[in-house]
Amino acid sequence: MTGDLASRLRAALGESAVLTDPADMAAYVTDWTGSFTGTALAVVRPASTSEVATAVRLCAEAGVGVVPQGGNTGLVGGGVPDSGGDQVVLSLGRMRRVREVDPVADTLVVEAGAVLATVQEAAVAAGRLFPLSLGSEGSCTIGGTIATNAGGTAVLRYGMMRELVLGLEVVLPDGRVWDGLRPLRKDNTGYDLKQLFIGSEGTLGVVTAAVLRLLPATPRRATAFVALDSVEAATALLPLLRSHGGGLLTTWELLGRQAVDLVLAHLPGVRDPFAERHEWYGLVELAGTPADVDERLESALEAAAEAGLIADAVVAGSPAQRESLWALREGVSEAQKSEGATLKHDVTLPITALPRFVAETGPRLLETLPGLRLVTYGHIGDGNLHYNLSAPVGDDAALRREGPALTRIVYDAVTALGGSISAEHGIGVLKRDAAAAYKTGVEVDLMRAVKQAIDPDGVMNPRKVL
């Protein structure tokens, strides 16, 4: 049955929509991190919702699993097939149209394969804002950000993708289409079905289009990079930034010195804004229309200095300076990848528990693997740390050998302090077994019941998440 699936897909979608040559499929079977590589029976590239429905139906009839894929920037191995060679990658790359921007309803209708940056630009062109913002925004897609419930650097003010979606169109595992593409702000007609698909990482259906919320434009931005002595200072600063920001605080990010060192070492043209080295840094941004955005940031920084919470600060005086401060933050993923073996821990804790987590976990990790580099950074305003690890210099093998023990130390500490082992990247394959171990039995049972109800034959993204 699977043998002639490619022929049937070609007959239905056209010759050029189905790839089977390993060289053509290579870019679709390895993830951005390079840690997850699989093999696929075929890569199918439908151009419309009905073609997605046909492709999924044909795969379901053949008993073949479907792996939805957007920009392939996911960090947990969820968007690539495994090594079984018995799955079809369904790429949304040809469905990238912004169908409608409605500045009265404050909504935007878009196909799932549209790149996030394109949607941000469409909102700006209409005098509005689509606020989701991630380092990968030039490549990741709307379907991918919905499927992972992406977060990023403006969650503090606008929430995660879940809060920005009003309606969805989804192809179900049997090939039927659920048309929930409604722009309604209020719709209490039972279970909120779209929320089931948001964050489901392609395991329940293929998102083909969405209605997104637009927000008021924020043409003025005030940005500063600050030097901090401790993580406590970073958490203590949050209420102060909020009160001085008066609703305009959009970003509060943390960077440890090792993260900054990697960016300075690997990214050309980036420089340290301070003459002295510091242990910790923060990136703060206020955005909006009021003329006093800059004054609000200045007054926040003055109050922070008076309270002894910041050791130094540089305020961006031009768009170019703003870009260079942001490059220090947005460059960490790329720089850490260039440095060699990496172990990512995208964790979240109650914000007041973060200083204790950092203070207690680092020494335990270093005891297990001396020389390990703690590349700590992330969205501290949301209580989300990328508690990433880089191998001791020149010893990638040691990180691979000790990886499971190191991850156990991190996850045990997170759990003991009331946190979660995935804040924004999801479960995919990377955290599938850990999620089963760290979530409660009731949670796992409920998730399995949802999967069984919507995808009883296990067509969608097999062996991911659950």
Interface positions with ligand MLT (CB under 6 A): 75, 135, 332-333, 344, 378, 386, 388
Which H/E stretch holds residue 200?
Answer: none
The whole-angstrom separation of Cα 87 and Cα 251 is: 40
Contact residues for 88 (Cβ-Cβ < 8 A; gap 6+): 5, 9, 40, 41, 42, 43, 44, 55, 59, 64, 65, 66, 67, 81
**Nearest position to ligand FAD, beta carbon:** 144
Residue 411 CB-density burial (10 A; 0-12 exposed, 13-18 middle, 19+ buried): buried
- Residue 118, interface with ligand FAD (CB under 6 A)? no
Q: Whose Cβ is closer to ligand MLT: residue 171's or residue 249's?
A: 249
* CB-CB contact of 373 with 340 (8 Å): no
**Nearest position to ligand MLT, beta carbon:** 333
Among 56, 134, 222, 343, binds ligand FAD (CB under 6 A): 134
CB of 135 to ligand FAD, least distance (A): 3
CB of 144 to ligand FAD, least distance (A): 2
* CB-CB contact of 118 with 130 (8 Å): no
Q: Whose Cβ is closer to ligand MLT: residue 344's or residue 373's?
A: 344
CB of 44 to ligand FAD, least distance (A): 13
164-183 binders of ligand FAD (CB under 6 A): none
Choose from ligand MLT, ligand FAD, none: what does 395 bind? Cβ within 5-8 Å by kind. none
CB of 288 to ligand MLT, least distance (A): 23
Choose from ligand MLT, ligand FAD, none: what does 260 bind? Cβ within 5-8 Å by kind. none
Contact residues for 441 (Cβ-Cβ < 8 A; gap 6+): none
CB of 135 to ligand MLT, least distance (A): 5
Choose from ligand MLT, ligand FAD, none: what does 332 bind? Cβ within 5-8 Å by kind. ligand MLT
Report residue 68 CA to chain centroid gap: 16
Among 73, 342, 361, 390, binds ligand FAD (CB under 6 A): 73
If you search the block for the tokens 């719709």, which residue do you land on?
Answer: 187
325-354 binders of ligand FAD (CB under 6 A): 333-334
Q: Whose Cβ is closer to ligand MLT: residue 90's or residue 262's?
A: 262
The whole-angstrom separation of Cα 278 and Cα 260 is: 10
- Residue 69, interface with ligand FAD (CB under 6 A)? yes
384-413 binders of ligand FAD (CB under 6 A): none
Please report the beta strands in 339-406, taking only residues with DSSP state E, as ranges in sequence order: 342-343, 346-348, 373-379, 384-390
Q: Which stretch binds ligand FAD (CB under 6 A): 71-79, 117-125, 223-231, 314-322?
A: 71-79
Please report the beta strands in 257-319, taking only residues with DSSP state E, as ranges in sequence order: 280-288, 312-315
- Residue from 66, 52, 17 nearest 459 by CA: 66
CB count within 10 Å of CB 15 equals 7
Which phi and psi (to 5°) does residue 299 adopt? -70, -35
Strands 87-91 and 42-44, sheet pairing: parallel
The whole-angstrom separation of Cα 254 and Cα 246 is: 21
Which phi and psi (to 5°) does residue 340 adopt? 120, -150
Q: Whose Cβ is closer to ligand MLT: residue 300's or residue 332's?
A: 332
Q: Whose Cβ is closer to ligand MLT: residue 76's or residue 119's?
A: 76
* 407's tokens: 């991850």
Q: Whose Cβ is closer to ligand MLT: residue 118's or residue 333's?
A: 333
Rounded to 5°, angle at Cα 285 from 107 and 253:
100
CB of 251 to ligand FAD, least distance (A): 11
423 residue type, one letter: A
Among 38, 46, 68, 93, binds ligand FAD (CB under 6 A): 68
Choose from ligand MLT, ligand FAD, none: what does 38 bind? Cβ within 5-8 Å by kind. none
Q: Whose Cβ is closer to ligand MLT: residue 157's or residue 344's?
A: 344
Q: Whose Cβ is closer to ligand FAD: residue 106's or residue 169's?
A: 169
List the x/- string, 408-427, binding to ligand FAD by CB under 6 A.
----------------xx--
- Residue from 80, 144, 114 nearest 461 by CA: 80
- Residue 251, interface with ligand FAD (CB under 6 A)? no
CB of 95 to ligand FAD, least distance (A): 8
Distances (CA, A) of 229 to 202, 305, 329: 42, 12, 18
The whole-angstrom separation of Cα 11 and Cα 29 is: 23
The whole-angstrom separation of Cα 198 and Cα 165 is: 9
CB of 168 to ligand MLT, least distance (A): 23
Q: Which stretch binds ligand FAD (CB under 6 A): 137-145, 294-302, 389-397, 402-410?
A: 137-145
**Contacts to ligand FAD by CB under 6 A:** 32, 67-75, 78-79, 92, 112, 134-136, 140-141, 143-145, 147-148, 150-152, 201-202, 206-207, 333-334, 424-425, 428, 461, 464
